[in-house]
């Protein structure tokens, strides 16, 4: 049987078309198979590796989330925090109008902003104290030791009494914050955020039961600057103070000391000791932080922290260097710690630490 040329040509084209379809299907199925195997291999590797990467392949198949719900990746206890915090919600703002920090300087209503800025000291520090009206006179003596041109004063009123402080001349320039029966570290966590106190060179966070007859704030600042101390405290007069740890006791012949030596009893300290309270340690009743050290310390304070027991043992992480060099006790400027119970003596209900001399450590299991 003979076929016309047209029929033969059509049959040939059909065969070619069929072969083309078969090849395309083969290539398509082959590509899909290769791609599938590749993805499976990557996801298996991802599952088995412990290395954290910014974006995993499996995340490409998850629904996207709005900017408000994006959270930074969790960190384990050994990882350092990111130096570049994630800021959400300000991406649409022009860079020229963003003000990332603030301060505690008081402004005058109706004054020229340019003139106001010129009045702000170029280098100033902050004194923050939790106060109750019963310690009114003691607090007054403390504040009088801190020159107005060098310090901003902030008072945390834990008893709710504010108006009765009006008898002091410095009262109108102080910043007053009231919260009933809250401790120093509750106030500090909420009102001394690093972005608020970023303009202050040093931050003094003191208790109210402190005698300052032999303390001068200006001289103290000169010493910590010269000695390069990032975290410090004035030494304690042993004869008049309630002392908890030997390292805080004044050494009359020194300007500053950074370690102690103890060869008998418990808690021995030697020349090669590297851990607190042998070296790199201050107590939490009168600590002084540089701006950088406080920025670090603030992030270490828990929201439910009460008495700060144990926090002092971790301050070395925030020393901005070797704690045995950057943390110290200033002997030239010393104070008296009266050890007067505040907040109605709540502390004494759980631990009687109000004895002369070196007292024992806080109770085991007490909350930091």
Q: What is the pLDDT of residue 354?
A: 35
Q: Could you list the pLDDT tens digit for every one of the 368 residues in the chain?
A: 555 554 545 555 555 555 555 555 555 555 666 667 766 766 655 555 544 444 443 443 444 444 444 444 444 444 455 555 556 688 888 888 887 888 787 777 766 776 666 566 666 999 999 999 999 999 999 999 999 999 999 999 999 999 999 999 999 999 999 999 999 999 999 999 999 999 999 999 999 999 999 999 999 999 999 999 999 999 999 999 999 889 999 999 999 999 999 988 888 999 999 999 999 999 999 999 999 999 999 999 999 888 777 899 999 999 999 999 999 999 999 999 998 876 644 444 433 333 333 433 333 333 33
Q: What is the pLDDT of residue 117?
A: 64
Structural tokens at position 147: 């020159």
Q: What is the pLDDT of residue 15?
A: 52
C-alpha–C-alpha distance, residues 337 and 250, integer Å = 12
The pTM assigned to this predicted structure is: 0.69
User: From the CA atom positions of the chain, what is the Rg in Å?
Assistant: 33
Q: Where are the domains of the chain?
A: 113-358
Q: What is the pLDDT of residue 13?
A: 57
Q: What is the pLDDT of residue 185?
A: 95
C-alpha–C-alpha distance, residues 328 and 198, integer Å = 23
C-alpha–C-alpha distance, residues 292 and 318, integer Å = 8
Q: What HEC string does 63-109 produce?
A: CCCCHHHCCCCCCCCCCCCCCCCCCCCCCCCCHHHCCCCCCCCCCCC
Contacts (Cβ under 8 Å, ≥6 apart) of 347: 307, 341, 353
State the CATH architecture for 113-358.
Answer: Alpha-Beta Complex (3.90)
Cβ atoms of residues 242 and 351 within 8 Å: no
Q: What is the pLDDT of residue 96?
A: 83
Q: What is the pLDDT of residue 37?
A: 74
C-alpha–C-alpha distance, residues 245 and 243, integer Å = 6
């Amino acid at each position: 049987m003979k076929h016309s040329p047209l029929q033969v040509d059509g049959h040939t084209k059909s065969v070619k078309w069929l072969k083309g379809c078969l090849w395309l299907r083969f290539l398509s199925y082959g590509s899909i198979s290769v791609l599938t195997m590749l993805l499976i291999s990557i996801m298996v590797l991802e599952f088995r590796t412990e290395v954290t990467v910014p974006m995993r392949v499996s995340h490409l198949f998850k629904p996207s989330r709005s900017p408000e719900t994006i959270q930074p990746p969790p960190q384990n206890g050994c990882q350092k925090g990111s130096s570049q915090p994630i800021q959400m919600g300000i991406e649409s703002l022009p860079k020229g109008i963003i003000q990332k920090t603030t301060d505690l300087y008081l402004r005058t209503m109706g004054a020229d902003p340019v003139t106001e800025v010129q009045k702000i000291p170029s280098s100033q520090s902050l004194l923050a104290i939790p106060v109750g009206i019963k310690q009114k006179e003691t607090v007054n003596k403390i504040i009088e030791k801190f020159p107005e041109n060098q310090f901003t004063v902030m008072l945390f009123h834990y008893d709710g009494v504010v108006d009765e402080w009006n008898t002091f001349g410095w009262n109108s320039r102080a910043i007053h914050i009231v919260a009933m029966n809250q401790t120093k570290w509750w106030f500090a966590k909420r009102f001394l955020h690093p972005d608020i106190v970023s303009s202050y060179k040093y931050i003094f966070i003191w208790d109210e039961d402190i005698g300052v007859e032999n303390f001068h704030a200006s001289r103290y600042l000169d010493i910590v600057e010269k000695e390069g101390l990032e975290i410090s405290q004035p030494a304690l007069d042993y004869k008049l103070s309630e002392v908890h740890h030997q390292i805080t006791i004044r050494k009359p012949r020194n300007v500053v000391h950074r370690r102690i030596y103890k060869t008998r009893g418990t808690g021995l300290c030697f020349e090669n000791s590297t851990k607190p309270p042998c070296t790199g340690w201050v107590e939490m009743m009168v600590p002084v932080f540089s701006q950088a050290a406080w920025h670090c310390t603030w992030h270490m304070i828990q929201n439910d922290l009460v008495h700060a027991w144990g926090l002092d043992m971790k301050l070395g992480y925030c020393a901005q260097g070797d704690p045995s060099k950057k943390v110290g006790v200033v002997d030239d400027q010393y104070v008296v710690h009266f050890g007067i119970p505040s907040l109605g003596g709540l502390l004494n209900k759980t631990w009687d630490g109000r004895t002369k001399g070196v007292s024992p450590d806080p109770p085991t299991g007490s909350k930091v």
